[in-house]
A and B are shown apart, each in its own frame.
Chain A
Amino acid sequence: MDFTLHILGGFAALADPTVLGYMILGFLIGTFFGAVPGLTSVLAIALLLPITYSLDVVPALVMCASIFMSGMYAGSITATTINIPGAPSSMMTSIEGYALMKKGEGANALGHAALGSMIGGVIGSLLLICLTPVAAKLALLIQTPGKFSLILFALIVIVISQRNAIAKGFVATLLGIMIATIGIDVMQPIARFNFGTEVLVEGIDMMPLIIGTFAISEILFQVCENRNSLTVDKKVIDIPPIRRRDFFPTMAEIREIGVWTYLKSAIIGYFIGVLPGAGGSMAAFVSYAEAMRKSKNPDLYGKGSREGIAAAETANNSMCGGAFVPMLMFGIPGDPTTAIVLGVLIINGLQPGPRLLDTQIDLIAPMFASLLISALVLIPLTLYLLGPYFVKIVSIRKAVLYSCIAVVALVGSYVATYSPFQMMLALVFGVLAFFLRQQKYPTVTLLLGFILGPDLEQYLRRALSLNDGNPLTFITSPDSLFFLALTAVFFYFMVIRTPPNAKKA
């Protein structure tokens, strides 16, 4: 009952004009970053991270939630209208949406994408609100050896979900773990890897790593690919005008898609979100494939299937709710965006874990409410108000855009400690991430290795210390054994039993 009251209190917190303003601002920023090809909601939240030092925790978390939800939806706008997915999770939408656009039904496709995103976002948020207390109770049952095995499971699943870059994923993860070991040891009061300098004794802050990996490397990447002066070419945006009245999907179309398709896609998306490292792209792909498998009209797929759009968009927005569960309960981010939201929590002194719901639910509840309201109200409202102009809005000068990003990123790095050293660290990590990305190393695993590395080490050493150094504790402890067995199952199905053609996908 207390939990329900706190959740209702979270909705009440959104009535505060300041908090509401930050939610709407976050939604618009997320929509812009999600829709502009090359920019992502991850970058938006990475740039927001330093600003959270100056914000209260509730507006910061509310803003993160609305950026996450809108960034996931907004990719469908450019995917449909100009066949360039603004976000990777909108790849499936571009196949079906652009086919409808060519038939002159682009506005209708955008309407279906928004409806799917709205339904998925709402169901994902409701599942998050309903299942978080259950997850918290389960999390309390996990003991120290189990916590180690759970983090190991998360890291391995994150790496093996990189498909054809598993070895590179391991390299990036290990690099993240190695960077995280710089500074004071997790168990003893000694400094490691400071190389005789004072500045490294306190370790590497998460912020320059995030800013460097996601913002500076993106600027370096874009300056390499600076073939066009605009983010979207002028010739591409020369499309027929979109009318607002065409946005609304008809009841016949919704009936044809079916309630079950929406519901199933939302459930698929949510549980893929719970898996560490899976993310919106996998949610959209799995749900799209499942919808096509069960479809009454599979021939329509690839030629403009509204069902395909609904399945993909419902799943990727439902994923948002699922991704928060492991992050809040175990400190294990489900995807890169929640990895940075975790940074926001830590900066504001919130410690993820099952006790979070007991001690700081009043700070977390507005974030849940923001996810739900963003999906239910802001997605359709934004499409209706800004839909006809979006393609023009996202076509801006790259030079101006990336200069702005560079200033926000670097000055933001300075904000945390008022030290240019943090700015220099961001540049160093940016250069490192640029070369890693250029050689197709997944940089997300670098960040997750950095975040999860200290906990992995701490639980490993603590578990062994408590059991006289006996490693069998990881097998004799039931919770630990469960996660090790789960790791083996995932490894078997994702690496060993994967057909060769899927490995190349």
Chain B
Amino acid sequence: MKSGSSGGWDRRLILPFVLFVITSIYLATALQITAQFDEGLVGPSFVPVVASILMYIALAFVVLGMRNDTDKAAREKLNLAAPLKVVVATAVYILAFKPLGYPVSTFLYVYALLYIFGLEDTGPLKRIAYTAAITAVFYALFALIFQVRLPLFDTEFWGMF
């Protein structure tokens, strides 16, 4: 455990622990389901309860299996800075998608992604050109070819301010 631990805590245990918590919330909710009519043992909560119990057992096997796990890559410390930046950029993009509209929000999102992915050997002008091209190509694909109504600019939203 020492090689993969950080402060005495093996980081591989985090995911099983999170799944354990999710399963516990799920099981507690499943036990509160009230059936509209009696189906006997196998009502609406039967499969969720069985799935929860099986999940606990499977998680126990996963944790026990870690003792024999020789995969060093799984123990290495993971640098989450770049994925976190992508997640934040994506979340902001989703929130801004309707208020700002497709052209502006997508342009900013693609520019951010090109930056995060480290588009090398390119100056800001070339990066803007790439960004504009990607935004335009997919606007053409969705809005013109597949006739999808993409949001342009939510005037009602901005009118509130």
A residues neighboring B (CB under 8 Å): 51, 54-55, 167-168, 170-171, 174-175, 177-178, 181, 185, 187-190, 192-193, 195, 216, 219-220, 223-224, 226, 229, 397-400, 402-404, 406-408, 410-411, 414-415, 418, 420, 423-424, 427, 431, 434-436, 438-441, 453, 456-457, 460-461, 464-465, 468-469
Contacts and interface: CB of A to CB of B under 8 A. Distances in A.
A469 B39 CA distance: 8
Contacts of A175: 19, 55
A175 B95 CA distance: 27
Contact of A224 (B48, B65, B82, B110): B82
Contacts of B152: none
Interface string B104-131: 0010011001101111110000000010
Given A435-B15, A468-B40, 8 more contacts: A188-B44, A190-B36, A219-B86, A229-B118, A229-B120, A406-B90, A410-B93, A423-B94
Interface centre among A192, A415, A434, A464 (most CB of B within 10 A): A192
Given A410-B93, A440-B74, A397 B119 contact: yes
Contacts of A423: 94, 97
B122 to A, nearest CB: 9
B47 A457 contact: yes
Nearest to A220: B83
B140 interface: no
A415 B151 CA distance: 11
B5 interface: no
Contacts of B134: 400, 403-404, 407
Nearest to B149: A418
Interface of B: 12, 15-16, 19, 23, 26, 29-30, 33-37, 39-44, 46-48, 51-52, 54-55, 58-59, 61-62, 65, 71, 74, 78-79, 82-83, 85-87, 90-91, 93-95, 97-98, 102, 106, 109-110, 113-114, 116-121, 130, 134-135, 137-138, 141-142, 146-150
Contacts of B30: 192-193
A427 B83 CA distance: 12
A420 B33 contact: no
B82 A223 contact: yes
Contacts of A185: 44
Contact of A174 (B39, B54, B119, B142): B54
Contacts of B146: 51, 54-55, 415
10 closest A-B pairs by beta carbon, nearest first, are A399-B117, A167-B61, A54-B146, A399-B119, A170-B58, A469-B40, A403-B113, A220-B83, A457-B47, A185-B44
A433 to B, nearest CB: 12
B110 A411 contact: no
B102 A420 contact: no
A224 B15 contact: no
Contacts of B106: 407, 411
Given A411-B142, A465-B39, A420 B114 contact: no
